[in-house]
Structure 1
Amino acid sequence: MNPSMLSRKTLHELPMTVHGGQAWKIGGIEDYSHNLNPFGPPDDIKDIISSSIEGIDHYPDDNSTELKEAISKRFHVGMENIIIGAGSSDIIRMFPNTFIEDGETVIIPSPSFAEYTHQCRIVGARVFTQDLESKDDFHMDFDSLKSKIDDNVKAIYICNPNNPTGRIERREDILDLVEYCGDKGTFVFLDETLLELVPEHKNISCIGYVDRYPNLLVAGSLTKSFAIPGIRIGFGFSNPETIGELNKVRMTWNVGQIEQKVATELIRNRMGHVEKAAALMASEARWMYQQLTDIGLPIRMTDSYFFFDSMRPLGMDGHQFVERMLKNNIMVRDCASFGMRFTDYVRFCVKDRIRNERFVEAARNALR
């Protein structure tokens, strides 16, 4: 018996997704392939985790009440507007399992975070892409997107800042799209997981508008902002009715007690750590852009804190550049997994000045 033949037909040709952040498998490598807070978790993270152990002989609060209270105060929304997940990836899984029927249509920008497509295909959705173009600096063409929306489109995905391009869309443009989609009966799934690490995030985020627009769901997490991918905490914001439907597919006890307590402490008392990092990273992004363009690396200035650019002007593809950087103990992301259009693209983040100076020197060596 071949077990794969017994799985759902939608899974038979579904590939596994590929993500960055793999340098931990290789000793002595500085990992620029992920987009975590480069300053790491707060210095006292071990103490916070240790103090969260008491009570693990009980089941966790399935409603995550204390954590929701902290999130509600931080983001100025009601507790009834919040759902908690094991990372934003859990919210990304819940959404199509709640709202997308087999055969329904979704529109997803390309390139963007691969999990959107993966989770939609698991439930049998018809996935159409909205190509983001180099000539537009990989910004979304909202007019073109609107022209593709009809009564058959169940949902549209937006990642802001977009992963992997680093581009940020204006709040006004996103809300205009949300309103347009509302008239068509179309959901907008807005992923703001990376936004807290942008200094102007409060002027960009749409979390405060979830009660105004019932077709808007905003996802976030602590993974990137606190550099704690090993502690799975994510959250979704929407109107209470949408949250109620999502809770029907949420796994019971999906977030453990330790995660809840750690996240509550971080949100209540450690957000200054994230805000300081965001300011430093914005400054370092400008410095890296100047340094790298001076040595001939063909990059464009990012809207956020990671770069996404083609190595074709250097006569090499992304994999070749990755290999050259690895010889200098630096890992960058080969973006071929985002599709054939991006085999010559790489993505890399910014870190602190000392490590960024090493990156510039490694890039200089790679160009020789």
Structure 2
Amino acid sequence: MVGLKRVHGGDIWRAAEESGRLSGELIDFSSNINPYGPPSGVDKVIVASLKGITHYPDPESRKLRGTLADYLGASSPNILVGNGSVDLIHFLANRFRPCRALIPSPTFCEYELAVKSAGGEVVHLVLGRGDFSLDVEMVLERLSGVKMVFLCNPNNPTGNLFPRDRLELVAEEAERLNVTIVVDEAFMDFLEDRENHSLIKEAVRRKNVLVLGSLTKFFALPGLRLGYVLAGEDLIAELAFHKEPWSVNHFAQVAGIAALKDEEFISMSRKLIAKERKSLYEDLLKLDRLKPYPSKTNFILVELEHPAWSSIRLREELAKRAIMIRDCSSFRGLGEKFIRVAVRDEVENGKLVDALKQVLMDY
């Protein structure tokens, strides 16, 4: 896999080491984690369940799957959980190996890494440059030459949402051609009307559609590693047979259950993130030579329009001010003129905007 590099945001440990600061002194805009989480009850259930560490975790995660089913409006037999969604991405790539997979770009790098590490080949489809829209007609044309399609919706790092009715067309044609569609909905939880955009119903009723989800982003549990895949019962049963046992630890299971049941946290987070996203987008729009792209989720892609600016240098300058951003030069189809910033709370967003003003004035 020469030329491929695994780069992610959120490496606060390395950033602290390189900056000579404590991790708690940094403001992390590089990882797209809900700043209002985790839900307040999560730490309590972890402490209360400490004695469970002396037992193997439930290998089928039955209570967690039941709670997920209630949250998603599905059934437990339609759900398989894993050690984070990246664990499941690589698991699926291996289960369907070797294959040619269609992957739009720019998008999350792990789809390509997973396919190639499983001996597969990737067919790239470039998203529309102006708005990063998905050319569904082009997807339909290329389906006959692939066995899998990976889609991220809302897409990371662009923040835009692909229309559900267009994805349903892809799912229908893919089923006819026996092509597997994997839709990563890791950021769908941030939408107040997620049920109007999710492909969960398609995944339940079709044989070839799988929806991925994660408790990392919205519920702010990246350190516990917890994700899920939702599909038809027969497909989930087949996947579960091949999944290694005990891949979801005891604390992840009890924390996931507590988080999913916190309806007040869920409602509050969606409202606050929507409010702060709008404010941050408008503030970034006012800065000279910065072009923020509209987003439906908890991060904003920003293009640097000044010829002297680069994402790498901007990242380094902001790091001196204890602010971490995502340099997007590692994303296929972007380059050194793009950064991604998470939506955080009002105070921290203000610090980012002020720091950007200071840094960009010096260029």
Q: Shorter-chain-normalised TM-score: which range?
A: over 0.9
Q: After TM superposition, give the deviation of residue 316 of structure 1 in Å.
A: 1.2
| Residue of structure 2 aligned with 1:139, choices 115, 133, 144 | 133
Aligned to 2:30: 33
Percent identity between matched residues is 30
One-letter identity of the residue aligned with 2:160: R
CA deviations on 1:160-219 (whole Å, 9 max, x unpaired) are 111111111121111111111111111110000111012221211111232222110001
* Distance of 1:199 and 1:313 partners within structure 2: 35
Please tell me whether residue 284 in structure 1 is matched to residue 273 in structure 2: no
Q: After TM superposition, give the deviation of residue 274 of structure 1 in Å.
A: 2.7
CA deviations on 1:122-142 (whole Å, 9 max, x unpaired) are 11111111111322x112111
Q: After TM superposition, give the deviation of residue 71 of structure 1 in Å.
A: 1.2
| Residue of structure 2 aligned with 1:89, choices 86, 89, 92 | 86
Please tell me whether residue 332 in structure 1 is matched to residue 325 in structure 2: yes
| Residue of structure 2 aligned with 1:148, choices 142, 145, 160 | 142
Q: After TM superposition, give the deviation of residue 228 of structure 1 in Å.
A: 1.0
* Distance of 2:50 and 2:286 partners within structure 1: 50
Please tell me whether residue 322 in structure 1 is matched to residue 315 in structure 2: yes
* Distance of 1:343 and 1:271 partners within structure 2: 40
* Distance of 2:106 and 2:141 partners within structure 1: 19
* Distance of 2:198 and 2:91 partners within structure 1: 21
* Distance of 2:108 and 2:333 partners within structure 1: 15
Aligned to 1:223: 216
Q: How does 1:94-109 map to 2 (within 5 A)?
A: 94-101=91-98, 104-109=99-104
Q: How does 1:105-124 map to 2 (within 5 A)?
A: 105-124=100-119
* Distance of 1:259 and 1:195 partners within structure 2: 20
* Distance of 2:146 and 2:133 partners within structure 1: 21
Please tell me whether residue 353 in structure 1 is matched to residue 346 in structure 2: yes
* Distance of 2:163 and 2:220 partners within structure 1: 26
Aligned to 2:6: 17
Kindly report the root-mean-square deviation, in angstroms, between the aligned alpha carbons of the 2 structures.
Answer: 1.6
| Pair 1:24–1:282, CA change in 2 (3 A) | farther
One-letter identity of the residue aligned with 1:17: R
* Distance of 1:233 and 1:239 partners within structure 2: 20
Aligned to 1:4: none
Q: Please give the secondary structure, in 2, of the residue aligned with 1:302.
A: coil
Q: Please give the secondary structure, in 2, of the residue aligned with 1:54.
A: helix
Q: After TM superposition, give the deviation of residue 340 of structure 1 in Å.
A: 6.3
| Pair 1:44–1:81, CA change in 2 (3 A) | closer
Aligned residues of 1:30 and 1:331 also touching (Cα < 8 A): yes
Aligned to 2:120: 125
Mean Cα deviation higher: 91-100 or 156-165: 91-100
Aligned to 2:190: 197
The answer for unaligned runs of 5 or more in structure 2 is none
Please tell me whether residue 362 in structure 1 is matched to residue 351 in structure 2: no
Q: After TM superposition, give the deviation of residue 271 of structure 1 in Å.
A: 3.7
One-letter identity of the residue aligned with 1:235: Y
Please tell me whether residue 188 in structure 1 is matched to residue 188 in structure 2: no
* Distance of 1:15 and 1:299 partners within structure 2: 27
Mean Cα deviation higher: 209-218 or 184-193: 209-218
Q: What TM-score does the superposition give when structure 1 sets the normalisation length? A: 0.91
Aligned residues of 1:332 and 1:348 also touching (Cα < 8 A): yes
* Distance of 2:61 and 2:116 partners within structure 1: 30
Aligned residues of 1:198 and 1:279 also touching (Cα < 8 A): no
